[in-house]
């Protein structure tokens, strides 16, 4: 079903006119109400009246995470703080968190775009939603919660962690829809496998995963492991939280951006100029309708590309590819750009490996070295052990050595950098406890 057919299936030309009108109003309001933006617009020699529509976006200044930090906590608000009804914050692994605020209308918008996202993912009114996103300052839990209620679902606010209890609740309450990080979906799938619960015996049909990068390889594992047809949900707290875009369950070929509210551009990070549709670059978003914390051209750091044109689901909203990584999690290994998601895609092609891994970056003799710690698939490992027990230790060892060689070869061929491959026993790679999972250990000395 389509939650807001009029907006989601609008004629692209009409939508562009709406976006342009909203952008003009936004720029005027920012110039009037937010000193930070008034100053930035002055510096860029832009008068609010100069902006005719979205085609003029390249003339407008970029906003970065550091701007939110520098004006912490409430310096970028376009309404008095007392008109804000909720605060969220991003995890902020280093330094101060980034604080964001919502007016009553913003919360209405938040639940509406998440209701749209849930419907794109296959959810319908009356279905039961098992919400395993973390509740609290993180936008995931409350975001999906109110979106589910808005759509008319029965929401179970489980939050992250306590996997035993999650599994029990899924077996007993029989949810139709699951949402959590993709890495946690794998944790849940392996817990069910351990208990010998077959995916086809689970009630789950649809699942929404996001908050961290993932790949089509991982998608196949989750589909199979939980018996679902899962889709990607994307968002960030600065823009609103989850619900900036979602794949439709029909095509699963790019996430439809709620572009009547969040206008996407893709910029080449070297030139800062927009790239053609289909070309990769950094996603930059402008909030067209937000009240409390409107942002102009927010630099997400996330790498993706856009595709326009008809979609099997009937929506006309532009689609963005799965996030390849962030400019800041891109590893530069001996001059070559490497994204963890590229390594993940290669590992997913090897049947002998589980979808769990860790990347360790070190520097040896002034050269970057990347080690891939890949976990063995449990069934494959059992096979090897059986052979070991039957006194064929040499044979098993040869097999592992051959596997290591093959994976290293495949990585080098696909990515163009040689990496050391280490095989881990089943269960040894880090698992998600519910939140975002960090798979990279950068042990290089800080410059
Ligand atoms: P923080 O990670 O700092 O706590 P957020 O919770 O707002 O802040 O996270 C937003 C970021 O999470 C995005 O910019 C993006 O890098 C990542 N993210 C969110 N959804 C997805 C997704 N579906 N695929 C890949 N990355 C995602
Ligand atoms: Zn679609």
Ligand 1 pocket residue status of 181, Cβ below 6 Å: no
429 shares a domain with 291: no
- Count of the separate structural domains present in the chain: 2
More confident: 93 or 377: 377
Ligand 1 pocket residue status of 179, Cβ below 6 Å: no
Tell me, yes or no, whether 178 lies in a domain.
yes
Does residue 374 contact residue 423 with C-beta atoms inside 8 Å? yes
Full DSSP string of 357-386: EEEEEEEETTEEEEEEEEEEPHHHHHHHHH
Question: With 60 as the cut, is the pLDDT of residue 390 above it?
Answer: no
Domain that holds residue 249: 1-327
Rounded to the nearest angstrom, the distance between the alpha carbon of 439 and the centre of ligand 2 is 31
**Which pLDDT score, from 0 to 100, does residue 332 have?**
83
Quote the tokens at residue 1. 């079903």
CA distance 12 to 209: 28
Tell me, yes or no, whether 25 lies in a domain.
yes
CA distance 140 to 130: 13
Question: With 60 as the cut, is the pLDDT of residue 197 above it?
Answer: yes
More confident: 96 or 59: 59
CA distance 194 to 378: 11
Q: Which of 132, 254, 255 is nearest to 182 (CA)?
A: 132
245 shares a domain with 97: yes
CA distance 89 to 104: 17
> For 246-273, how does the pLDDT look when each residue is reduced to its tens digit (9 = 90+)?
999 999 999 999 999 999 999 999 899 9
Residue bearing the CA closest to ligand 1, atom 9: 236
Tell me, yes or no, whether 127 lies in a domain.
yes
Full DSSP string of 45-79: T--GGG--SGGGGGGSPPB-HHHHHHTTTTTT-SS
CATH number (domain holding residue 376): 3.30.300.30
265 shares a domain with 411: no
Ligand 1 pocket residue status of 92, Cβ below 6 Å: yes
35 shares a domain with 18: yes
Rounded to the nearest angstrom, the distance between the alpha carbon of 119 and the centre of ligand 2 is 11
Ligand nearest to the CA of 298: 1
Tell me, yes or no, whether 302 lies in a domain.
yes
- Dihedral of alpha carbons 181, 184, 186, 189, sign: negative
341 shares a domain with 315: no
Ligand 1 atom index nearest CA of 93? 3
318 shares a domain with 203: yes
Does residue 411 contact residue 343 with C-beta atoms inside 8 Å? yes
Ligand 1 pocket residue status of 68, Cβ below 6 Å: no
CA angle 443/93/217 to nearest 5° reads: 75
Tell me, yes or no, whether 187 lies in a domain.
yes
Output the furthest CA–CA distance in the chain (Å, rounded): 81
What is the pTM for the complete model shown?
0.88
Question: With 60 as the cut, is the pLDDT of residue 201 above it?
Answer: yes
Give the mean pLDDT of 427-431: 92
CA distance 313 to 167: 32
At 97, the pLDDT band (50, 70, 90 cuts) reads confident
Residue 37 in 3-state DSSP? helix
**Which pLDDT score, from 0 to 100, does residue 94 have?**
52
CA distance 420 to 411: 10
346 shares a domain with 297: no
Tell me, yes or no, whether 281 lies in a domain.
yes
Domain ends where: 327, 360, 386? 327
**Which pLDDT score, from 0 to 100, does residue 444 have?**
86
CATH number (domain holding residue 5): 3.40.50.12780
> For 208-229, how does the pLDDT look when each residue is reduced to its tens digit (9 = 90+)?
999 999 999 999 999 999 999 9
CA angle 173/178/182 to nearest 5° reads: 140
Domain ends where: 273, 296, 327? 327
211 shares a domain with 150: yes
Domain ends where: 283, 312, 327? 327
**Which pLDDT score, from 0 to 100, does residue 219 have?**
97
Residue 186, H or E segment: helix 182-194
> For 401-422, how does the pLDDT look when each residue is reduced to its tens digit (9 = 90+)?
999 999 999 999 999 889 999 9
42 shares a domain with 165: yes
Rounded to the nearest angstrom, the distance between the alpha carbon of 352 and the centre of ligand 2 is 34
Q: Which of 301, 324, 205, 206 is nearest to 254 (CA)?
A: 324
Pocket test for ligand 1, best of 98, 102, 234, 321 (most atoms within 8 A of CB): 234
**Which pLDDT score, from 0 to 100, does residue 335 have?**
80
Strand 353-364 to strand 281-287: parallel, antiparallel, or no bridges (unpaired)?
unpaired
More confident: 154 or 382: 154
Tell me, yes or no, whether 447 lies in a domain.
no
Strands (DSSP E) found in 239-324: 241-247, 255-257, 262-267, 281-287, 298-304, 306-307, 319-320
Q: Express as a percent the part of the chain with pLDDT over 90.
A: 83
Rounded to the nearest angstrom, the distance between the alpha carbon of 231 and the centre of ligand 2 is 11
**Which pLDDT score, from 0 to 100, does residue 393 have?**
58
Strand 128-131 to strand 177-180: parallel, antiparallel, or no bridges (unpaired)?
parallel
210 shares a domain with 348: no
Tell me, yes or no, whether 70 lies in a domain.
yes
The DSSP secondary-structure symbol of 274 reads B
Question: With 80 as the cut, is the pLDDT of residue 387 above it?
Answer: no
| CB count in 10 Å sphere of residue 390 | 10
138 shares a domain with 230: yes
Ligand nearest to the CA of 313: 2
Ligand nearest to the CA of 326: 1
Instruction: Quickly tell me which residue has 């899924």 as its tokens.
Output: 170
| Arithmetic mean of pLDDT over the chain | 94
Give the mean pLDDT of 192-201: 96
Pocket test for ligand 1, best of 212, 240, 438 (most atoms within 8 A of CB): 212
Q: What are phi and psi of 420, to 5 degrees?
A: -85, 135
191 shares a domain with 139: yes
């Amino acid at each position: 079903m389509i939650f807001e057919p009029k907006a989601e299936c609008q004629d692209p030309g009409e939508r562009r006119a709406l976006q342009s009108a909203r952008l003009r109003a936004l720029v005027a309001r920012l110039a009037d109400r937010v000193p930070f933006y008034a100053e930035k617009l002055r510096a860029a020699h832009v008068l609010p009246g100069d902006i005719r529509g979205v085609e003029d976006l390249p003339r407008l200044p970029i906003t970065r995470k550091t701007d939110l930090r520098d004006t912490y906590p409430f310096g970028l608000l376009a309404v008095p703080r007392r008109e804000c009804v909720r605060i969220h914050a991003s995890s902020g692994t280093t330094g101060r968190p980034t604080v964001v605020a919502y007016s009553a209308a913003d919360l209405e918008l938040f639940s509406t775009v998440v209701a749209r996202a849930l419907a794109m993912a296959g959810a319908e009114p009356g279905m039961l939603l098992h919400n395993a996103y973390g509740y609290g300052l993180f936008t995931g839990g409350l975001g999906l919660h109110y979106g589910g209620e808005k759509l008319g679902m029965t929401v179970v606010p489980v939050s992250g962690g306590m996997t035993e209890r999650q599994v029990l609740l899924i077996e007993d309450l029989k949810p139709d829809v699951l949402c959590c990080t993709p890495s946690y979906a794998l944790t849940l799938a392996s817990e069910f496998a351990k208990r010998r619960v077959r995916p086809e015996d689970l009630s789950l049909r649809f699942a929404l995963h996001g908050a961290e990068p993932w790949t089509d390889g991982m998608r196949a594992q989750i589909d199979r492991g939980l018996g679902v047809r899962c889709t990607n949900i994307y968002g960030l707290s600065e823009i609103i939280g989850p619900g900036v875009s979602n794949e439709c369950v029909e095509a699963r070929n790019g996430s439809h951006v709620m572009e009547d509210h969040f206008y996407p551009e893709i910029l080449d990070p070297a030139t800062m100029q927009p790239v053609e549709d289909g070309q990769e670059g950094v996603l930059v978003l402008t909030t067209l309708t937000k009240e409390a914390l409107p942002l102009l051209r927010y630099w997400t750091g996330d790498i993706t590309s856009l595709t326009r044109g008809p979609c099997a689901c009937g929506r006309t909203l532009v689609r963005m590819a799965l996030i390849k990584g962030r400019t800041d999690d891109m590893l530069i290994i001996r001059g070559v750009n490497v994204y963890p998601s590229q390594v993940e895609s290669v590992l997913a092609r090897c049947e002998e490996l589980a979808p769990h891994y860790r990347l360790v970056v070190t520097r040896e003799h002034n050269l970057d070295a990347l080690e891939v710690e890949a976990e063995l698939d449990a069934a494959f490992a059992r096979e090897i052990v059986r052979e070991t027990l039957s006194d064929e230790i040499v044979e098993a060892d040869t097999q592992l050595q051959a596997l290591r060689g093959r994976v290293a070869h495949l990585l080098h061929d696909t990515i163009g950098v040689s990496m050391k491959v280490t095989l881990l026993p089943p269960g040894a790679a880090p698992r998600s406890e519910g939140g975002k999972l960090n798979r990279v250990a950068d042990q290089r000395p800080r410059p």
